Amino acid sequence: AYTAVDKAEDEVDICRAVNKTGALNIALLCKEYSSVLVHVSTDFVFEGDIVDLLKEDDLAEPISIYGVTKLEGEIDIINTLPEHYILRTSWLYSEFANNFVKTMLKLGTDRDQLNIIVDQIGTPTYAIDLAGAILDIIESGKDEYGIYHYSNEGAVSWFDFAKAIFDISGTQVKVYPIPTSEYPTKAARPKFSVMDKSKIKEVFQIEVPYWRDSLIKCIDKLKK
């Protein structure tokens, strides 16, 4: 997927080619070869202006090019291939590639203090947990196709997430909360994007770890 949220505002065609057309092409191939598609989508398909758990059938109204193209990809998959699982997730991180956890750990060693946004609320998702959920769905053999929400359990602001990262890692750095208005970005972000995971838990009996527990596991691996 094309996931550079701010850069997407300037690279609309490239972003759409990957997130919409790319998803459609994969769905067409799956249809040709009678395969099931597991597609990872995002909480950015929602506006996030209401403080309530987001369900799979809630109205999707993205407020960024990234969110728009991810929703377009979802729609193309749904219209092309009935045999699909679309998993919307949020705030992905792991010990691999670039992500918020690794960025904070690096900044925490380079700086004495950091300003972190406090008025965007969501749920971090450890990529290992998401991969496990996908594997559980595939191995279940159930043909309960459709959209599912998956993140870790709980809700947290970026500010409190950062504080937890430093607390767990033992990094000494002062963290100050700031509103979104003091850290403007090219692309708008949902203010509240905590997703309801009842459906995936009920259909596939998937156990969802609490976000802090998974964060501890990730940081432990990064320390090794």
The Cα 45–Cα 71 span in angstroms is 6
In order along its 224 residues, the chain shows pLDDT tens digits of 999 999 999 999 999 999 999 999 999 999 999 999 999 999 999 999 999 999 999 999 999 999 999 999 999 999 999 999 999 999 999 999 999 999 999 999 999 999 999 999 999 999 999 999 999 999 999 999 999 999 999 999 999 999 999 999 999 999 999 999 999 999 999 999 999 999 999 999 999 999 999 999 999 999 98
Number of Cβ within a 10 Å radius of residue 78: 16
Closest alpha carbon to 87 in 203, 6, 191, 187: 203
Residue 206 region, left (φ>0) first, then alpha (ψ -120 to 50), else beta? Answer: beta
The Cα 224–Cα 177 span in angstroms is 30
pLDDT score recorded for residue 224 = 86
Q: Which residues are catalytic?
A: 66
Domains defined for the chain, CATH in brackets:
7-223 (3.40.50.720)
pLDDT score recorded for residue 164 = 99
3-state SS string for the chain: CCCCCCHHHCCHHHHHHHHHHHHHHHHHHHHHCCCCEEEEEEHHHCCCCCCCCECCCCCCCCCCHHHHHHHHHHHHHHHHCCCEEEEEECCEECCCCCCHHHHHHHHHHHCCEEEEECCCEECCEEHHHHHHHHHHHHHHCCCCCEEEECCCECCEEHHHHHHHHHHHHCCCCEEEEECHHHCCCCCCCCCECCECCHHHHHHHCCCCCEHHHHHHHHHHHHHC
Phi, psi (rounded to 5 degrees) for 49: -100, 0
The Cα 13–Cα 25 span in angstroms is 16
Count CA within 13 A, CB hemisphere, residue 53. Answer: 13
Please give the model's pTM, rounded to 2 decimal places.
Answer: 0.96
CB-based contact 102:93 (threshold 8 Å): yes
* Residues with Cβ within 8 Å of residue 64, at least 6 apart in sequence: 5, 8, 9, 44, 187, 188, 189
CB-based contact 15:8 (threshold 8 Å): yes
Tell me which amino acid residue 175 is: V
